[in-house]
Structure formats: structure tokens, C-alpha cells
A and B are shown apart, each in its own frame.
Chain A
Amino acid sequence: MSYSFLHSSDLHLGRAYGGFPEDIRGRLREARHTVITRLAAAARGAGAADVLLAGDTFDAETPSPETLRHALRAMAAEADIRWVLMPGNHDSLAASELWRRIKADSPSNLLVLTEASPVALAPGVWLLPAPCTQRRPGRDLTDAMSAATPEGAIRIGLGHGAIMDFTSDEGSAGIIPPDRAQLSGLDYLGLGDWHGRMQIGPATWYSGTPEADGFKHDTAPGALAVRIAASGAPAQAGMVPTGQFQWLRPALDLLPGEDTAARLSDILPPDARRRDTLLRVEAAGRLTLAERAGFEAQLAAIAPDFGWFDSDLSRLTTEVKADDLDLIDRGGALRRAADALLSETADQALAQADRDLAELALSRLYALVQEVGV
């Protein structure tokens, strides 16, 4: 009587991505929606008919009617899959309108868990959910997982929130005991909240989000395909990738004389992946004026390859030598202005902001002189 299912969480459907330009914003939202299809496929691939979603399926307490309707329709479309939905902190039971609407419009293959009481998923398989009652319940809801089930049943816990050892993705203190599975005699405890994938114990996992939503986690997004042979047998969890977009935040530590183009190409994904990649290059170290100008030009050249591109050069300092200034002019007023700006960049009597400004002005001067030519 083995039982297989797919464990996922934190779909955050309807997430707005307001900080991104409009086109990528739309694509990111769309990718969150289509992950439903990818999850269904992953479940099928793993021979599972149940997809257990451990909270935060929806990003908002009252998502837009379209977000909700599209999600329910997409789930309904995967008719061979049963979707087991549990409230997380974003879509807690306090979001009464959301759950009212879900219940009102629920397809037949949707199982909504709004009570912290055991539910039979299959013969001899019991799910012990701990739905979030509030955004911050302030108590250990997983206590309910100690509820009794028939003798010899497979016990699967489904919870949402941070465990005691670390703070949640949202910064609130963890409250779930890390040994909850053992305490409540669970064969598997599937958790949501942490957007990266993480194993907490032999049978306790955070699945992470199936579609990445930021640069924070560097685990590849996916879902966990879990198989439990029998009550008391070790659960076997395997990752199935489901993510469409890649969020990369490579760091580059540069020094004068380096081939910045080569260093850059080392850290970039292959061309084919770039459209579905959000990339933020974080450069540190130092470069000469010319090298920096070159590096910035290289960055500007690759930027359009990506779904979204950004660079943070705030920790990259510009090293200016007399040779560099010669490239501006060997003498005369342009050189005099460059010299004045250079000395300002190193003037300890000035505020850092003014020194940075002088550095920026000097880089600009260099670039402009190159533009106008000799």
C-alpha cells in the first residue's frame, strides 16, 4: 500500500513584480501561473495523482478575480490530478473571502483543507494538515498533527511556517519544532514558507517554490516527488525541476589588467537560457578608467540578451593613473579638469558622496572624450 504524491508550496500566484519593467513583469506572472501545468506534469512523471500544496498558493489574501479564476481553471484542466490546497501565511484562513470564493468555485479535483483535522487521502493514508489561521498565528499549529489516525495508517503532515532554528522568509521567528515529524509520528512532514528547497530531517522537507521569485535562493526551483512504501518506512523524496525563470546574481571581483569580457562570459548562462534569465551582476574590486569604461560597455552589450538585466557596480572602484588621464588629454584645460576631478576622488577632506561624484564625473569625462574622438 505505498503512496506517492508531489509536495510543493509557495506558488504565490498573482505576485505583481511591480519593481520590474512591464514586459518581464507579465512574463514572470505568467510563469507563476503556468507552473500549475508543470506541477501536474511532474506529478504524473512521478506516478503521483495528488499534489499537496503546503500554503501560499496565492500571494495575496484577496487575489484578483482573474488570478483566482485562472488558477482554479488550470487546476481543473489537470483532471487526473487531485490538488490538495492548504492555507499558508499569505493566504491564511483570515483571508476568508479567498476561501469563500474558492469553495464557491471549486472544481471537483480540488481538496481544500481549512480544518486542522485528519483527512484520509487514500485508504490507509491520512493527511494531518495545519492550515494557517492568521498571517502570524503566533502558536505552533502543527500540534494538531498529533491527532490520532487508524492504526497502521501512513501519516503525512502538511504545514506552513518557519521552524524554530531559523527565521522565515518573511523574517518572523520560527515556531515549528524541527522534530515535529518524530513528535507526531509522521511518515513525512511537508512544509511551506521557505522558498528554497531544504531538508530539515529524515522525513521533513521544505519543497521551496516551484517557480523562483527572487535572487535570494540559489537552489533550482522544483517540487518534491515523495514515495512512502508503508507506515514507518522511510519516505523517499526526489526533486523534480519545475522552474521556468532563472534568477542569477553572479559576483565578479575584478582587478586591473583582467580580461573583463572573459570573466563576464564565464559567469553568464548560455545564450539560449538568457531570455528566461533575470541577471544582476554584482561587481567589486577595481578597474582602470579605460577598463571600467570597457566593462560598462560589455555589460551594456549583453543586457538586451536577458529577460531582465541589472548591474551593481557600487563596490567597483575606478583606479585612475596618469596614463589614463593622457587618454583624456596630455595637457590643456581638459587635462586640467581631469586632474582636478581625480584629486577630488582621493581627497579625504571631502565626504564620500562628493568623492564618488567626482569619480563619476571623471568616468563621464573619459567616456565623452572617447566619444568625440581626437
Chain B
Amino acid sequence: MKIRAIELTNLRRFAGQRARIEGIGDGISVLSQPNEFGKSTFFDGLHALFFQPHRSAKAPVKALQPHAGGAPEAAVEIDLPEGRFRLEKRWLSRATARVLDASGRLIAQEDEAEAWIDRLIGQDLAGPSGLLWVRQGVLGMEPEGASAAEKSERERALHARRDLLSSVAGEIEMMTGGRRMDQVLARVNDALAKLATTTLRPRAGGEWARAVDEAATLAEQRAGLEVKAARLGTDLRQRTAITRDLAQCADPTARAREVEALTAAEQTLTSAERHAEQMAKAEGELRLARLSAGQGAEAISRLQQLQARLARAGIERDKAQQALTESEAVAQAAAGQEAEAVTRHETAREELQTLANRLDRAQRAQLALAARDRAASLAVEYERAERQRAAAEAHRADRSLLKVTRALLDLAEKAQAARDRLALQDEARLVSVRLNYQGEARVMIDGRPLPADGLRLRGATGLDLPGIGRMTIDPGLSAESDLAAQLVRADEALARALAACAAPSIAHARKALAETERLDAAIRQADDMLKELAPDGMAALQTCLAEARAAANGVEADPGEDAVQLQEALRVARDTEATALTLRREAETRHATLRETRAAREAALQSAEQALAAVQAEAGDAVDLAARLQNLTAAQPALAQAEAEATETLARLTADAPDLATAQAAVSRLRSVVEGRRRDLARLQSDLAGVNGSIGALADEGIEEALDELRGREATAAARAARYEREVKSLARLRSALDEARRAAREAYFSPVLREIDPLLSILHPGAALRIDDTSLLPTILTRAGQDEALDILSGGTREQLAILTRLAFARLFARSGRRVPMILDDALVHSDDDRIEAMFTALHRVAQDQQIIVLTCRQRAFAPLGGERLVARVEGA
């Protein structure tokens, strides 16, 4: 269907007027009028024509009536495949409905006309009018509002979308599983939710968690019981061991045997102790006998020794007396020899001293003479040195007056050469006048005859030629060069060079240079001499001279003795003295030694006498001593007999002695055995009581039965938990399979509309995608750069654009299903900026290639770039 013209009469704004738009094209047609013109009235009129029965007086119809009242009328001319038709309706008073064909023939009227229009709507328009006709100010995907009309329009649009999508993609119910899928999923989710959390862990309070908890609790209880059971086992084994030990311990035969053994051992010990006492007594007696015998022998021995010592001391005293007597005689002789040696030595020493004095005097006189000679020679040297020093000083004074050096002389000689060169040049330029006189007459110059060798003229010179007159020769311009000035400068330079040399001429200067060299040589020579004569300087030389003179002045009178002979005599005298001294020392030493010997022997004698006196004092009376000795010796055999008897008694007792230590050990061991058994018995009985108590308590609990039961219950609980886990896994697997299948089905279902939307969307939002809700069958999510955005939070402009793009996509789907339905936009895109609006225009044009689009707008300038056909509404009086 295509709309070609719309005509409104006495409808709302057009009270008493007829407004007509005609020439509506195939693609985009734009009616651009100012706001108050009433373009929305066209939309409403058109809508009412198709959807409000002519007999209706409902609010939407009443809204069509102008303020002035009267019956509103609407007509539309449409092209159908069968041809062009005109549909007319008039509401409220004299309501009519008519359908006319192209030739103006009435096809149907009133109810028949309504039926005709219903058929048209049912076929083409019912859905699309809601879906594709966009009323002024509608921002979103669907018409808003809660009125019955608005609701029914929304319903119509939803049905249209559902029909449309089903026709291109199959039934959504069929595809997504619909209600059955929902129910299955709900049951799966219910079953899962009962058991598991969203992360598929056991959910607290659920059967799975209960099984897991129960298994854990039972495991804990079991572990506790296992500990007890283990303790019971240990206790039982321990009791077996204790009982066995107790039986052994309490064995009466063993006990009696032990007591009997102890009694026997104690008796053995008593008799052993008695024997030991007897032995101790015998030992005491033996010790006493030995002591008595020992004392007697000791006293005898002591008295015998005293006698021997007394004899020995007498002999010693006599020997010492004799030695002293011998020693005194020898010492006497040695004293005489010593005195003689001393005298001889003293004589020799005096002789030696005399000779030494004589030699000393002779040598000192010789030394004084030598000093006088040296003073004389030093005086001569000093004088010569003084001369050299004076000469050098005089040369230096001369030398200091001479300034010339080799270099200064070279400079002066160069200055001289330069000056001579210039003088020669000057000379060469002079006019030479030479006369070879043949007569007497002589040419005169300045009153004197011209020299025979001629004359050289520098300037104008007057020559008196006797008899002829005066001839003036003028060399002219040749003299006017600057040679004269150069010469003057050369002279000055020469003078300066000579002044530097302190010489009036080169020859002087050369002589002066020769003189300096001679003086330098003379100075060197004098200095060398001086150094030779006085190497340490004049002052040192003078000091030496003074010393020599002083030494010479102390000269003694020469005794006139021969020092050599004196020295020989002195050597002999010295030998003699030395020999005498040796002899003297020998004599002295020998005498001294003998004196000491004598003194020592005196002391020895004295001590021998003292020793003798001491022994005599100790021994007392000799007779008495002998008597005592006699008595003691007589008592000795009786004592020895007593000792032998005691020894024999002890040996007999020792041989018979039982081992006391062994007897004690045996008693001690057996006592500990008896005591140990008693203690063991007590301990084992106590242990047994303890173990019995523990076993009794544990056995009363029936641990093993309880443990067996717990193990079974734990295994059952664990198996149940495992079953639930498997159940949860299989449910989760099922859910993911269902989710995945439904997602895939939705994708397949919505793909036709998305295929249409995507190219349009990419005009505005390249790379973006829309997601379609499967209840409303409309886009609800815009995905841009991977970010999901709900459409209702987007800006008004974007929402409006997406709403229109979606409609365009549905329009294309309609076209694809063979239903070409006009699309009407009433003041759409009010929220869009210029860039977007142009992109939208492009999208509209893209769709308009096979789609009629009627755009009503009050924004004349903004919609100018839309292009398309411009419609004109003509308004005239009705």
C-alpha cells in the first residue's frame, strides 16, 4: 500500500477548512510546516480514518472535532496492487464511511466500507501502524501511556513484531522451547538451588550440605571413638601383661625359696663376722710382739753405733792436729820467698821509671823543632797565596771596567760594515774632477790648488781657473738621494754600537775584547793557584800558621840524648820489671794459699774436737754404755719367740677365714630380691587396679559396636554426599546445556531483524550491536566497545535514533515478507543534533529505496538536508 493524498475537512485545527496534501511519492516525502500549522493533525486524522469507526464517539474521535464544533472528515487516497482507492470518513454528525475507486465509483459505504478498511488493516496496517507510525514526541521503542488505546496499540505492535519474526524465523515458542523450556529450567534451577550455592558448593541447610556435614561429624565422632578403642586395646594388652607378671610375682614357692636363702645367708654372715673379730685380735697381738722385738733390736743398734762414733771422732781429732802442724811450717817458708820477690820487683820498677822520663824529654824536644820548621814553611805559603789573591783582585778590577763582549763587537762590526757600504755608494755618486796639468797654472779651490789626484765633488763647487775665471761644477740631482740621511743613521748606529762596547773605534773595541779574554785567563790562573795554596781559604791557612807558630814557641832545651838508644834501654827495663812482677805475684799467691790452708786446718781441728766432745757427751760413761748393751742383747731371743707365736696364730686364723664381703653381698642381694618382689607385687596390684578401672569404664561404653556403627553411617553419609555432588554436577551440566540451547535459539530467532538493524546501526554507531529482549521483541541493550548499556538510560537523542532505526529494520522485514507499508514520522528526531540527524537521513534514504516514508516536521531548516519530495499542504475554505 502507498498513500498518495490526505484530505482533512473541519478537523481540529482546520475548523471550517479543508486541508489537502497530495502527490505523495514512493520514497521519502517531507511535509515541512511551522509548528502551529497542524501537521500532527494530519497524523491523527490519518490514524482515525484507519482505526476509528465512523460511528464511534469515543474520546479519540471527539478530540478530532474543532472548537467551533461540526463533523470532522478525513479522506485518504491509496495505491493498492489492484489500483487507486479513496477512503472517506465523517464522524459525529451524519457519520459516513465510503470507499471509492479511481474513477470515483463508490465501492462500499458505511459498514461495508468499515469492513473493507478492516480487511486492509488486517492485511497490512494493524501492526505496522503502531510499529511504523511514529507519533510526535515518542522517544522509545513503543508508544507510552496507560490509556486503553495506548495499551491496545502496544499490544498490536507486539503482535505485529511476533508475527513478523515468526514469519521470517519460525515460532519463538518452538525455537526457544517456550513454556516447557521455562518449566524444565525452573525445575532444574529449583533442584540445584535446594542443593547447591550459585558456585555449586553445598548450600547451607540443603541435603548435600547436610550429608557432607553429617559425614564430617561422624568422622569426627569416629576418630574420637578410635582413640578410645585404641586405648582400650592398649589397656587390655597391658592387663594381660600385668596379670602374667603378677602371677609370676605372687608365686609362693619362689617367695619361700627366696626367704629361706636370705635366712641362710644371714647366718653365714654372722659367723663370718665373728671370725673376723678373732682375726682382728690376733693381728693386734702380732703387731705388739713385733713392736717389742723391734724396740730391743733398735736400742742395741743405737748403742753400738754410739761406740763406733766415739772411736771415729778421736781419730779424726788427731789427724787434724797433725795436718795443722805441717801446714804452719810450709807457710813460714813461703813468707820469706815472698819478701825477696817484692824487693826485686821494686828495684826493677824504679829503673824503668827513670828511663821513661829521659825518653820523654828527648822526644818533646824533637817535636818542638819540627813545629818551628812547619811555621816557617806555612808563612811562605801564606805570603804566596796573598800575592795571588791580590793579583786576582787587581785583574778583576781591570776586567770590570771592560764592557765589550764578542756579541757587542759583532754588532759594532756589522754597523761599521753597513756604514762603509753606504759611504762607498755615496762616494760613487760624487763627481770626480781630475786634472792632468800640462802647464804651471793650477786650478785653485778655496784658495788652494786642486790636489793632483783629483777631487770629488759633493755639491756645487767653485773652482778657480786662474786666468780663466771661476768654474762651478754642480753634480746636480744625483746628490739629492736619501743616502746622506741613511749615512747619518748608519753613523749613529755605529756610534751606539761602539758606545755599548765602550770603545771609540772598532779597533779599540777589538783590543778591549782581547784584553778581557786575557784578564779572564789571568783571574782563572790566580784563583787556581790560590785554591792550590789555600784550599780551605786564607783564614784557615792563617789559623794553621798561628798554631804552628804557637807550637814552635814552646820549644824546650834539647837534653841531647839519643832517643833510639833510650827506647831500646827502656824495652829491656820493661821486660826485666815484668819478669820480677811475675815472680812476685807467684810468691804472694803461694804464701796466701798456704795461709788459707793453715786457717782451714785450724778450723778442722776445732770442729773435730767439738765432734769428739759431743759424742763423748752423748755416750756418757763408757762402762755404763757397755753394760746397757750387754743387757739388751741378752733380752733379744725371748722377744723373737713371742713374735713368731703371734704370726703363726694369725696365719692359722687367716687360712680359715670365710669371705665376709661375699656373705654381706649375698645378704644384701637376697634382701633386695625379697623387698623387690614385695614392691613389684604392690606396684602390679596397683597397676592392675588402674587398668581394670579404665577397661571397665571403656568396656561399659561398648566402643567397638558404636565404632562399627559410626563407620557404617559415615560411609553411608559420604556416599550420599557423593551422590548429591554427582546430582549437582549433572543438573549443572543440564542447565548449561539448556541455557546454551536457548541462547542459540534466540540468536537464530532474532537474527533476521538484527541483520536489518546492523547496517543501519553502523551508520550511527559503527561496531555497535543491539540485543533484543525475547518478551517485548524489541532492542533493550546497546553494546558499544564491549560495554552493555540499557536503552532506557541512554540520552534522548540516542534512544530516539535507535527507535527509528529499529522501525526502519522492521519496515524492511515487512517489505521482505511482501508487505509494503508506509512509514510515517511525525516530528521525529527532535532530540538529535545536526551530525546525528544527517546520519539518520542517510539511514532513511537507505531504507526508502523500496519503502514509502512520510516525514512531518516543523523544523524546516534542519530537515532541508533530508531531501526527498517536498509536500505542500493546501488549505482552503470548506
Name A residues whose Cβ lies closer than 8 Å to a Cβ of B: 14-20, 25, 59-67, 94-98, 101, 329, 331-338, 340-341, 357-358, 360-362, 364-365, 368-369, 371-372, 374
A16-B706, A62-B695, A66-B702 known, 20 other contacts, Cβ within 8 Å: A18-B709, A19-B715, A20-B712, A59-B705, A60-B703, A60-B704, A61-B704, A62-B703, A64-B706, A65-B699, A332-B176, A333-B181, A333-B738, A334-B177, A334-B180, A337-B734, A338-B737, A357-B726, A357-B730, A364-B730
**Which chain B residues (677-695) contact chain A, with CB distance < 8 Å?**
695
Pick the contact of B236 from A66, A94, A336, A372 — CB < 8 Å?
A: A94
Q: Which residues of A contact B178 (CB under 8 A)?
A: 332
The verdict on A60 contacting B180 (CB below 8 Å), with A94-B240, A341-B734 known, is: no
Q: Is B578 an interface residue (CB 8 A)?
A: no
Complex contact A96–B741 (CB within 8 A): no
Q: Which of B184, B232, B712 has the most CB of A within 10 A?
A: B184
Write out the residue numbers on chain A whose beta carbons fall within 8 Å of the beta carbon of B183.
372
Q: Report Cα–Cα, A348/B709, bound state, in Å.
A: 42
User: What residues of B have a CB within 8 angstroms of the CB of A364 in the complex?
Assistant: 188, 730-731, 734
Chain B residues within 8 Å of A19, by CB: 711-713, 715-716
Is A336 a contact of B699 with CB atoms below 8 Å?
no
Known: A94-B240, A96-B240, A334-B741. A341 touches B705 (CB 8 A): no
Q: Is the CB of B713 within 8 A of A18?
A: yes
The verdict on A334 contacting B181 (CB below 8 Å), with A340-B740, A361-B737 known, is yes
Asked whether B734 lies within 8 Å of A97 as measured between CB atoms, the reply is no
In the bound complex, what is the Cα–Cα distance between A340 and B715 (angstroms)? 35
Please name all residues of chain B whose beta carbon is closer than 8 Å to the beta carbon of A17 when the two chains form the complex. 709, 712
Complex interface: chain A residues within 8 A of B695 (CB): 62, 97
Q: Is B100 an interface residue (CB 8 A)?
A: no
Shortest C-beta distance, A315 to chain B (Å), equals: 16
Closest 4 pairs (CB-CB, A-B): A18-B712, A64-B702, A60-B704, A16-B709
In the assembly, what is the distance between CA of A263 and CA of B175, in Å?
40
Asked if B714 is at the interface of the complex by the 8 Å CB criterion, the answer is yes
Please report the C-alpha to C-alpha distance between residue A94 and residue B239 in the assembled complex, in whole angstroms. 10
- Once A337-B741, A357-B733 are accepted as A-B contacts, the answer to whether A368 and B712 lie under 8 Å apart by CB is no
Write the nearest CB–CB distance from A278 to chain B, whole angstroms: 14
Which residues of B come within 8 Å of A, CB atoms?
173-178, 180-181, 183-184, 187-188, 232-233, 236-237, 239-240, 243, 695-696, 698-716, 726, 729-731, 733-734, 737-738, 740-742, 744-745
Q: Which residues of A contact B701 (CB under 8 A)?
A: 64
User: Would you call B702 and A368 a contact (CB within 8 A)?
Assistant: no
User: A95 near B236 (CB under 8 angstroms)?
Assistant: yes
Residues of chain B within 8 A of A98, CB atoms compared: 699
Assess A16 versus B712: contact at CB under 8 Å? Given A329-B180, A332-B175, A372-B187. Answer: yes
- Of A19, A101, A329, A332, chain B has the most CB atoms within 10 Å of the CB of A332
Could you name 20 residue pairs across A and B whose Cβ atoms are closer than 8 Å?
Answer: A18-B716, A60-B703, A67-B705, A329-B177, A332-B173, A332-B174, A332-B181, A333-B177, A333-B738, A333-B744, A334-B738, A336-B741, A340-B737, A340-B740, A361-B731, A361-B733, A361-B734, A362-B734, A365-B738, A368-B188
Q: In the complex, which residues of chain A have a beta carbon less than 8 angstroms from the beta carbon of B232?
A: 62
CB distance from B184 to the nearest CB of A (A): 5
B174, B702, B714: the one contacting A62 at CB < 8 Å is B702
A372 / chain B contacts, CB cutoff of 8 Å: 180, 183-184, 187
* Closest A residue by C-beta to B704: A60
Question: Interface residues of B: mostly helix, strand, loop or mixed?
Answer: helix
Residues of B within 8 A of A340 (CB): 737, 740-741
Closest chain B residue to A62 by CB distance?
Answer: B699
CB distance from A296 to the nearest CB of B (A): 14
How many whole Å from A349's CB to the nearest CB in chain B? 16
Cα distance, A368 to B186, chains bound together (Å): 10
**Minimum Cβ distance to chain B for residue A293 (Å):** 15
Measured in the bound complex, the distance between the Cα atoms of B713 and A120 in whole Å is 45
Q: Output the least CB separation between B748 and chain A (Å).
A: 10
Q: How far is the CA of A364 from the CA of B709 in the complex (A)?
A: 34
Complex CA–CA separation, A362 to B733 (angstroms)? 9
Residues of B close to A341: CB separation below 8 A? 733-734, 737
B232, B696, B731, B737, most chain A CB atoms within 10 A:
B737
Question: Complex Cα distance A304/B176, Å?
Answer: 40
Chain A nearest Cβ from B740, distance in angstroms? 7
Which B residues are in CB contact (< 8 Å) with A60? 702-705, 708
| Residues of chain A lying within 8 A (CB to CB) of residue B734 | 337, 341, 361-362, 364-365
Taking CB atoms, residues of chain A closer than 8 Å to B745 are 332-333, 336
Query: Which residue in chain B gives the minimum CB-CB distance to A330?
Result: B174
A368 and B708 form a contact (CB under 8 A): no
CB distance from A371 to the nearest CB of B (A): 7
Let me know if A63 and B177 touch, CB within 8 A: no
Complex alpha-carbon distance, A17 and B713, angstroms: 8
Question: What residues of B have a CB within 8 angstroms of the CB of A360 in the complex?
Answer: 726, 730, 733
Q: Which residue of B lies closest to A14 (CB)?
A: B705
- For B187, the closest partner residue in chain A by CB is A368
Given contacts A19-B713, A66-B702, A332-B175, contact A371 B708 (CB under 8 A): no
Taking A60-B702, A95-B236, A361-B737 as contacts, is the C-beta distance between A374 and B709 under 8 angstroms? no
Q: How far is the CB of A98 from chain B (nearest CB, A)?
A: 8
Q: Are A63 and B740 in contact (CB under 8 A)?
A: no
Given the contacts A333-B741, A340-B737, A14 and B726 also touching, CB distance less than 8 Å: no
User: How many angstroms from the CA of A371 to the CA of B715 in the assembled complex?
Assistant: 33
Contact A369 B699 (CB under 8 A): no
Is there contact, CB below 8 Å, between B174 and A67? no
Whether B184 pairs with A336 at a CB distance below 8 angstroms is: no
Q: Which residues of A contact B173 (CB under 8 A)?
A: 332
In this complex, the member of B180, B710, B715 whose beta carbon has the largest number of chain A beta carbons within 10 angstroms is B180
A334 and B715 contact, CB distance less than 8 A: no
A102 to chain B minimum Cβ distance, whole angstroms, is 12
Q: Which residues of B contact A369 (CB under 8 A)?
A: 180, 184
- When the two chains form their complex, are residues B705 and A333 in contact, meaning their CB atoms are under 8 A apart? no
Set of chain B residues within 8 Å of A97, measured between Cβ atoms: 236, 695-696, 699
B741 contacts A25, C-beta separation under 8 Å: no
A61-B704, A337-B738 as given contacts; A361 in contact with B730, CB under 8 Å = yes
Q: A20-B712, A364-B734, A365-B734 are in contact. Are A337 and B740 (CB under 8 A)?
A: yes
Q: A63 contacts B708, CB within 8 Å?
A: no
Q: Give the docked Cα–Cα distance between A67 and B726 (Å).
A: 39
Which residues of A have CB within 8 Å of B716?
A: 18-20
Output the residue of B183, B233, B712, B730 with the most chain A CB within 10 A: B730
CB distance from A348 to the nearest CB of B (A): 18
Asked if B705 contacts A16 (CB within 8 A), the reply is yes
A179 to B378 Cα, complex, angstroms: 157
Closest to A339 in B: B741
Contacting residues, chain A, for B696 (C-beta < 8 A): 97
Inter-subunit contact B236/A65 (CB<8 Å) = no
Measured between beta carbons, the chain A residues less than 8 angstroms from B176 are 332-333
Q: How far is the CA of A358 from the CA of B702 in the complex (A)?
A: 46
Residues on B with beta carbons closer than 8 Å to the beta carbon of A96 = 236, 239-240, 243
* B702 and A67 within 8 A (CB): yes
B698's nearest neighbour on chain A, judged by CB, is: A62
**Once the chains are docked, how many angstroms separate the CA of A372 from the CA of B738?**
15
Residues from chain B with a CB closer than 8 A to the CB of A16 are 705-709, 712
CA distance A278 to B99 in the complex (A): 86
The docked-state distance in angstroms from the alpha carbon of A62 to that of B703 is 7
How far, in angstroms, from A18 to B219 measured CA to CA in the complex?
13
List the B side residues contacting A336 at CB < 8 Å: 741, 744-745
- A206 CA to B715 CA in the complex, in Å? 31
B236, A61: Cβ atoms closer than 8 Å: yes
Q: How far is the CA of A331 from the CA of B737 in the complex (A)?
A: 15
Could you tell me the distance between the alpha carbons of A278 and B624 in the complex, rounded to whole angstroms? Answer: 136
A368 contacts across to B, CB distance below 8 A: 184, 187-188
B contact residues around A20 at 8 Å (CB): 712, 716
Given contacts A16-B708, A333-B742, A361-B737, contact A63 B702 (CB under 8 A): yes
> With A66-B702, A331-B174 as given contacts, are A25 and B737 in contact (CB-CB < 8 Å)?
no
